[in-house]
Structure 1
Amino acid sequence: MQRAAARVLRRARMPPARSLSAPPRAPPRALLYERHGEPPAVVQLKDLEVAELGDSDVHVKMLAAPINPADINMIQGTYPILSPLPAVGGSEGVGEVLEVGRCVTALKPGDWVIPASAGLGDSVIQNAANSGVGQAVIQIAKASGIKTINVVRDRPDLSKLVERLMALGADHVVTEEMLRKPEMKDVFKSIPKPRLALNCVGGKSTTEMLRHLQPKGTMVTYGGMAKQPVMVPVSAFIFQDVRLRGFWVTQWRKDHAQDREMVASMMDALCQLMRRGQLTAPACTEVPLQDYKAALEAAMKPFTSSKQILLL
């Protein structure tokens, strides 16, 4: 009943060699449920559509999986963390690697693997989620199977912004005020608490995001739009052992100037996402060079949702 992911697998012993003249594979099947309830009533055996194999992906056929009490509770909808519906049940099992992407070196077809953890994947929380960086994070995370909690400022057209970010692949969109409300616990019924927070605002927004990080989680600050300091409660350091890091892309480029292969690989991965339609540019407004003053004024307005592009 386990849905396997390449990043949570580790190599196990090889099974006995199999005949090269094996018959064609049968369509994959899984036990799915589209609503919560008593497992015998809501779980159905259905055919699955296998996603196209990406360069860093691994296709795994599950061979056996136990039914644990936690699995039952998740199907019933009573477990603290619930999968987005429709879902494949289960959190443990053993599987066989069927095929690997061209960039995968740690595994090969025929390896037996088990999940390294019983979790449902990672999540990321970020503020200024409607920015160019924020929109890119949503799309890259979506393509990587990572859930996102996206924080934006309240505004008159909030519903339209939420709709636009959800269309990009956002899992949750909340306002800075909502971060402080008890209702946030409902968000974490469907996704795990984030291990990574991305901050480009500062001030209260940053402090509230920190409260939702997992213990030993990391916050990376790459901007300070609010022009306010990053305030961290002492309890976050002592009891959660959070990590605070900074990121400046100019320095990052200097640090990796000699590692051309790594940079080229990263750019290639992003270009592949673009070609597949999984990563698109943010909304933009093309402005002739002579109208630069209007472009500058538009770029400085609050709640700007369109990037100003000067045409030279």
Structure 2
Amino acid sequence: MAMHVATLTTRLIRPTYQNKCVVLRYMSTTCDHGKSLVYQEYGEPIKVLSMQQIPLKKPEDNQVLVKWLLAPVNPADINTIQGRYPSKPALPAVPGNEGVGEVVIVGSKVQGLEVGDRVVPNGVNMGTWRTHAVYNKDEVLKIPKNIGMVEASMINVNPCTAYRMLKDFVPLKPGDTVIQNGGNSAVGQIVIQLCKAWHLKSVSIVRDRPEIIELKDHLKSLGAHEVLTESELRKTEIFKSKQYLQPKLALNCICGQNALEVLRHLDHSGVMVTYGGMSRDPLTVPTSALIFKNITIKGFWMTAWTKAHMESKERTEMYNELEELINTKNLQAPPYKLIAFDKFQEAVLNALSINGKAGLKYILDMTQK
């Protein structure tokens, strides 16, 4: 029979994060329950999510108890709750694919993890929108403590998506051009920074808006070489004038007419990678692009890549490089807003919108009262 955490015998060292109950380093929590968001059926998050108390149980030999500290709210999380995402956890379910937590209890046979270690999910549908959970030791991944908590909390999805799309589809070399729409999205901002770090030229397309100067300045401060509105893209001469090499790679998260305009600027034998469809319009490819320009159209889903490469060398190298870029300040989190866990409604209501200045990331903060 599982024992409640309150019955465990442990060593007292010092208190750290609080969330009604105190978590003590090198010891268990002093309470026997945590809190979790749960949905029993698919639907709009604001209607189907409920906050529940959850009993805390002692980890088994090869398990760890994790206290989640921060957990981003991604569009994919919202789509999963709505039942519109291909990856559907069994119901009832706890949402959340990303987050950063702290190990507070380790099982007797756990190696490589200690109390106080920072961890992120090492898989999908881990259910991070809760204060505590028990996981098998291989279900979490240890990360360095010198990485900021916000950056650590969102390392699994947007940075990895941007990294893989830039690495896996076209052999790029310094000076090559990458064009993308959704340049102010969270992934788009990471693409800009990775291009700068790897000496690639980035051209980002954004929607026309009143605050366009502020948005362009922000993206250029991250390293964007050119930021064009959709109307500017239709008449730009930057590729014909040889100011930039024609793009070999295009990244598409919008689809519809926007993607078609981006596609027209691809170099011969270029590749367009689609990883989203925010316009909800189909991706239309002209016959001439396929026959006369030999354009290749591909798709990318980070969830599928992770499942296929869980123990791979490529995945380890990716995390090592991303962590180094974060640590050296060459990769920073997009604009974000921390939301107290108990006030989760604000995060789920706004997660699918894009702020006028830049993609704003909402993050559930389990350390706030």
Asked if these proteins are the same fold (TM beyond 0.5), I'd say: yes
Using the alignment, how far apart are the partners of 1:188 and 1:131 within structure 2? 28
How far is the alpha carbon of 1:300 from its aligned partner? Answer: 3.3
> For 2:323 and 2:283, how far apart are their aligned partners in 1?
34
What value does the CA root-mean-square deviation take over the aligned residues? 1.7
Amino acid at match of 1:231: T
Cα offset for 1:297? 2.3
Give the residue type in structure 2 aligned to 1:270. Answer: L
Tell me if structure 1 keeps the 8 A contact 2:174–2:200: no
Alpha-carbon distance in structure 1 between the residues aligned to 2:330 and 2:319 = 14
1:296 match: 348
Shift of 1:298: 2.5
SS of residue in 2 equivalent to 1:180? helix
Query: Shift in Å at residue 301 of structure 1?
Result: 3.3
Aligned equivalents of 2:301, 2:239: Cα separation in 1: 34
How many Å separate the matches in 1 of 2:340 and 2:360? 15
Question: Residue 158 of structure 1 aligns to which amino acid in structure 2?
Answer: I
Which amino acid is the alignment partner of residue 276 of structure 2? Answer: G
- How far has the Cα of 1:229 moved from its partner? 0.5
Question: 1:31-46 counterparts in 2 under 5 A?
Answer: none
Residue 131 of structure 1 is matched in structure 2 by 185
| d(CA) in 2 for partners of 1:164, 1:212 | 24
Preserved contact between residue 354 and residue 360 of structure 2 (Cα < 8 Å): no
Matched, 1:199 2:252: yes
Match of 1:224 among 277, 291, 306: 277
Secondary structure of the corresponding residue to residue 226 of structure 1 = coil
1:282 corresponds to: 334
Q: Is the 8 A contact 1:289 1:311 kept in 2?
A: yes
Q: Distance in 2 between matches of 1:246 and 1:201?
A: 13
CA contact (8 A) 2:174 2:198 kept: no
Distance 1:308 1:221, change over 3 A: same
Q: Secondary structure at the match of 1:310?
A: strand
Distance 1:303 1:203 in 2: 21
Q: How big is the shift at 1:169? A: 0.2
Contact preservation (8 Å) 1:120, 1:192: no
1:47-71 deviation line (CA, Å, top 9, x unaligned): xxxxxxxxxxxxxxxxxxxxxxxxx
TM-aligned CA distance change 1:227 to 1:208, over 3 Å: same
Give, as a single letter, the amino acid of the residue that structure 1 aligns with 2:208. Answer: D
Alpha-carbon distance in structure 1 between the residues aligned to 2:223 and 2:297: 27
The structural deviation recorded for 1:302 is 4.5
Instruction: Say whether residues 1:213 and 2:266 are aligned partners.
Output: yes
Moved more, 185-194 or 245-254: 185-194
Q: Determine if the alignment matches structure 1 residue 140 to structure 2 residue 199.
A: no
Cα displacement string for residues 165-215 of structure 1 (whole angstroms, at most 9, x for unaligned residues): 00000000001121211x334685321010000001100111011100000
Provide TM-score, normalisation by structure 2: 0.50
Q: What stretches of structure 1 move > 4 A for 4+ residues in a row? A: none
1:115-135 CA-partner distances (Å, limit 9, x unpaired): xxxx97201000101111101
Alpha carbons of structure 1 residues 132 and 146: separation in structure 2 relative to 1, 3 Å? same
For the structure 1 residues 291 and 148, does the alpha-carbon distance in structure 2 shift closer, same or farther, using more than 3 Å as the test? same
Quick one: higher RCO (CA 8 Å, sep 6+), 1 or 2? 2
Give 3-state SS (helix, strand or coil) of 2:203's partner. Answer: strand
Does residue 255 (structure 1) correspond to residue 255 (structure 2)? The answer is: no
Question: 2 CA distance for matches of 1:287 and 1:308?
Answer: 7
Residue type at the aligned position of 2:337: T
Q: Which runs of 5+ in 2 are unaligned?
A: 1-172
Residue type of the partner of 2:219? Answer: L
Matched, 1:163 2:217: yes
Partner of 2:290: 237
3-state SS of paired residue (1:223): coil
Instruction: State the partner residue of 2:365.
Output: 311
Distance 2:322 2:241 in 1: 29
Q: Distance in 1 between matches of 2:231 and 2:254?
A: 14
- Contact 2:183–2:205 (Cα < 8 Å) also in 1: yes
The 2-side partners of 1:198 and 1:188 are apart by 22
CA distance in 1, matches of 2:260, 2:211: 25
Question: Which position in structure 1 is the counterpart of 2:319?
Answer: 267
Tell me the residue number matched to 1:149.
Answer: 203
TM-score normalised to structure 1 length: 0.59
Q: How does 1:65-80 map to 2 (within 5 A)?
A: none
CA distance in 2, matches of 1:186, 1:176: 16
Query: What percentage of aligned pairs have identical amino acids?
Result: 41
Q: Distance in 2 between matches of 1:240 and 1:137?
A: 25
Number of equivalences: 192
